[in-house]
Homo-oligomer: A and B are copies of this chain.
């Protein structure tokens, strides 16, 4: 127990210092490590395995909806980046620039891709000729680089891993449908696989992606009430197509510009998982993406028959869950603490007395609830318990969001909630960027989104009092 105590003491409590708790968890759970490259992290095996599980689920969903993977160069010539004017203004300030190749200074500098719209457009211009080539539904898994001033593991790093979908369509309507389809895939993934409830909505013009006509977003709320933009999906109209001269011969035999989308989620989702579900004992992982879903810990393993039985149980469970048997020399208490820190959703304890009764004890990571289960019923009990952990995590996160969401009907109310509470404020907005700026400057809250399908909470702008039709969620953000 001394070791266990030491381990738990090693992380800061969430209530004491949420930021410190977060960095303690990412290090102690061995998700990542700092590198000597400014703002870049090393993804350690346990952290990378979470990303591989995320990739696997999303990649299947992308392919099931007709998308194909491709790979574009990691460098973008400056002249190519400049072709779409809003886009370059948005991204140039945070580009890392390659200016030398071997011993030679380059005649044109190249940026390490911060996103790949320009490369995809150059390619689309070569391969799209006719309406028969459309829709073109591409996705790319890669790393991107944005020269950030302040960084935090997973949430904001100079380099991060992501996927970026890029599609081209015959009509604007079809492209908008694609944009929303992918937003829904992201939202379903967050809820079904990560147990993270998300708001779906549209970004205000000020918060749109550089070069987009409309940006849709899923917004999650972290345990401390701070928002995390967890995925975005953009409708570009034909703006990039015109800038890159991408044209196709339509069904009417006339040349036309296609309509474009792009959409992405990144390794910041790992940060979202940590901050949505974690607690003072460490990480808590949703079962769908947990590298280890169940850890078997033998009790009094030196006693005859315990390890043999544990191995038997391991073999039985292997086909139905990602399972690990820890038969190392560490004490059970040390192991409990270790796998709690690593957020393993279920622990299976098996000792001599359990074996006598042909049973074991399942312990949920989220609630620590213990269930005694017959060894003959593991095949049904384990999937049920994993589902219960998932459902429990989701409900708790949803409850937290409900408890931390307030309506503000006037400016005083808005200011007082912003000053006293941490969470989302729902308030009406006139649509004027000046009001959005004032809210940001005076309260630190930014617009999260104009939510889909929610009723207005008033008729006038919370900031200026003029008539307002748009309901907006406001919040602090990572």
Residues of A whose CB lies within 8 Å of any CB of B are 33, 35-38, 40-45, 48-49, 51-52, 68-77, 80, 93-103, 109-110, 112, 119, 122-123, 126-127, 138, 142-143, 145, 147, 159, 161
Contact = CB atoms under 8 A, between A and B. Distances in A.
Contact of A48 (B69, B76, B100, B147): B69
B37 A77 contact: yes
A37 B76 contact: yes
Contact of A74 (B72, B138, B159): B159
A73 B112 contact: no
A3 to B, nearest CB: 15
Contacts of A126: 33
A342 to B, nearest CB: 14
Given A48-B70, A159-B73, A112 B93 contact: no
A127 B31 CA distance: 13
A324 to B, nearest CB: 13
Nearest to A92: B102
B36 A112 contact: no
A367 to B, nearest CB: 30
Contacts of A142: 143
7 contacts: A35-B122, A40-B75, A42-B72, A43-B72, A45-B69, A94-B102, A97-B98
Contacts of A68: 45, 48-49
Contacts of A112: 74-75, 98, 112
A435 B123 CA distance: 48
A52 B55 CA distance: 13
A48 B123 CA distance: 15
A111 to B, nearest CB: 9
Contact of A97 (B37, B41, B51, B99): B99
Contact of A52 (B69, B73, B76): B69
B75 A159 contact: yes
Given A33-B123, A42-B123, A147-B102, A96 B75 contact: yes
Contacts of A37: 73, 75-77, 110
Contacts of A119: 35, 42
Nearest to A43: B71
A33 to B, nearest CB: 6
**Across the A-B interface, the 7 shortest Cβ-Cβ residue pairs:** A40-B73, A45-B68, A43-B71, A97-B100, A101-B147, A37-B73, A102-B147
A38 B75 CA distance: 9
A70 B43 contact: yes
A40 B72 CA distance: 8
Contact of A44 (B49, B70, B110, B159): B70
Nearest to A110: B37
A96 B145 CA distance: 15
Nearest to A30: B127
Most-contacted residue by chain B among A73, A122, A143 (CB, 10 A) = A73
A159 B97 CA distance: 16
A48 B71 contact: yes
A23 B160 CA distance: 34
Contacts of A77: 36-37
Contact of A70 (B36, B45, B69): B45
A127 B47 CA distance: 15
A147 B105 CA distance: 12
A126 B40 CA distance: 16
